Each structure stands twice: as structure tokens, then as C-alpha cells.
Amino acid sequence: MTTTDAGTTAPPVPTQSTYQSRVADYWNAEENLVNLALGQIDDLYHHHYGIGGADESVLEDADPVRRRERLTAELHRLEHAQAELLASHLGRLTPDDRVFDAGCGRGGGSVVAHLRHGCRADGVTISAKQAEFANAQARARGIDGKVRYHHRNMLDTGFPTGGFAASWNNESTMYVELDLLFAEHARLLRRGGRYVVITGCYDDTYGRASREVSLINAHYICDIHPRSEYFRAMARNRLVPVHVQDLTQDTIPYWALRSRADHLVTGIEDTFLTAYRNGSFQYLLIAADRV
């Protein structure tokens, strides 16, 4: 299942530990409607959350079928706005540039970056099922010559050193050790290349991870990092922040709306809302240059 390209050597086994194997099993089996139904609207499948003001008038629609359709479309609009925000911070890119989507899921972010900048994109996921799905979507769009997905480990991609102008993680850093991850990004990026991450992190000023953060970890089989560790690990790996944006207040409307979408709720919505509102959890964007 591993995709190989001329001049690259893909690791023979994508997972590096029992934990990573469990994460791969989770995403290979995942068929959550909150991911699939939203993507079916325009064949852009995002595995992350949304930002911006929500149109709550969709909740007032008296027709239950139309209300469900409008709710789904509004949540997808907010998720797409988040993907566009991340892509807008990737720096100046040309069609000749190559970008790296680490933990690409079903591939929506790579498509957004390509459509916005015209660049070539390589997405990597530990899930063979996700890579297969995303490549099928790229073929259906006729962009598979520019956007490709690989069943690889984002900590050890096998891609050429210095081959990328930009790279990112969109809500996937909580599955790995940050030093290992940022070391690979620093290796892949050319000097002056841009790295962007959007992530949930726990707020150091709160103290230790809150009960809500622990529940989110258990729900997604992940390990949310403290905010401070992002900056320490970046400094250790030649990534210098140039822009930091707190998106916490911008994502609350998404979660509030999703909590009322009966056909999409997963049971974790109120936990996210409580964590954001009690100050123990933050939603953060960090853009950094590779020096």
C-alpha cells in the first residue's frame, strides 16, 4: 500500500509502535458521519473542526429534512473556512512548489492548498484506507498529477531533504511526539520554508491537563500537548514562529452548532465546549519559518 516516487525511499512499515498501530486501526475502521456527510457536499473531506460565526437560523427550519441538510452544510462551511485560513498562512507558493500535508486524513486540506496556490501537494496518513480514499478523490477531480496521498508515517516519510516549500499539521500533532515531528518537518522544508499547525492544546496557565482534556484524549486515543511544548520543540528544531493566533473563541460557534446537530453528534461536543469556556483548552494556529 505504500506509494513510492522516483528518488524517495518509503519506510517499509508505516507504524513505529503498538500505539501507532492502534491509531491506524482506529482510522482504518472509522466511518463517522460527522466526517463523511460533510465531505459529500462538495467532495472535500476535512478531518478537523470549524471557525467563524455560525448561521444559527439553520436551527429554526421547520422542515426536519431541510434542517438536517442546512445544519450539515453550515458545519462544512465552517470547517472549510478553517482549511482556507491554514492555507492562507503557507506563504508565497507557485505551481512549481511542493507542499507536505502531515496527517492528511481523507485529503481535503491538500486539495484546498492546491486550489488556492496551484502547488503540488503530498499528503501522508498512517491509515491505508484514508490514503486510498484520498487518491480516488484526487483522480475524480483530475488533479492526481498534482495532489498525491501516501500510506506513510509523518515522522519518517522517506521524502527528499529540503524538497518542500511549505508543510503543515491540521489537528494531527496530538498523535505524536513533537520533537520527532518537528525534526521531520525541518528536514523536509527548504531554508525559509513555512510550517503551519492548527491544534488543540492545553493551557499551561490552567495548570495540568483538565478533566475535559483527559476525556478528549480518551475519546480520540490521543495525547494533547501543552501550549508551551509547541514553542520549545519548534525552537529545538529550527522552526521560528512568525505568527500565532488564538482561535479559541472562533471555534466555539462551530461546537455549539454541532452540539445541536442530532444526526452528527459524537458525544464529545459538550466536553469541548466546557474545556474552551473554562480556560483549560485552546485552539491555536502557529506559523513558523524554517531557519
pLDDT at 73: 96
What φ, ψ does residue 289 adopt, rounded to 5°? -100, 140
Residue given cell 450539515 in the structure block = 72
Measured from the Cβ of residue 183, the count of other Cβ atoms closer than 10 Å reads 18
pLDDT at 166: 98
CB-based contacts of 97, cutoff 8 Å, min separation 6:
117, 119, 120, 164, 165, 166
Residue 2, pLDDT > 70, answer: no
Residue 11, pLDDT > 90, answer: no
Could you tell me which residues are beta bridge partners of residue 199? 284
Residue 230, pLDDT > 70, answer: yes
Give the lowest-confidence range in 28-32, 127-131, 232-236.
Answer: 28-32
Residue given cell 520549545 in the structure block = 232
Q: Is 80 left (phi over 0), alpha (psi -120 to 50) or beta?
A: alpha
Nearest 5°: the CA angle 47, 168, 202 is 70
pLDDT in tens, 47-86: 899 999 999 999 999 999 999 999 999 999 999 999 999 9
Residue type, position 8, single letter: T
SS3 content of the chain, % helix, strand, coil (to 5): 45, 20, 35
Cβ proximity of 199 and 282 under 8 Å: no
Q: Higher model confidence: residue 35 or residue 103? A: 103
Q: What is the mean pLDDT of the chain?
A: 94
pLDDT at 13: 57
User: What percentage of the chain exceeds 70 in pLDDT?
Assistant: 96
Please give the full DSSP string across 245-289, using - where no structure is assigned.
Answer: EE-HHHHHHHHHHHTT-TTT--S-HHHHHHHHHTTSEEEEEEEEE
Locate 37 and state its grid cell. Answer: 456527510
pLDDT at 10: 45
Q: Is 221 left (phi over 0), alpha (psi -120 to 50) or beta?
A: left
pLDDT at 34: 84
* Sheet arrangement for strand 189-202: 147-151, 120-125, 98-102, 164-170, 189-202, 281-290, 239-246
pLDDT in tens, 190-221: 999 999 999 999 999 999 999 999 999 999 99
Q: Read off the DSSP letter of residue 52.
A: S
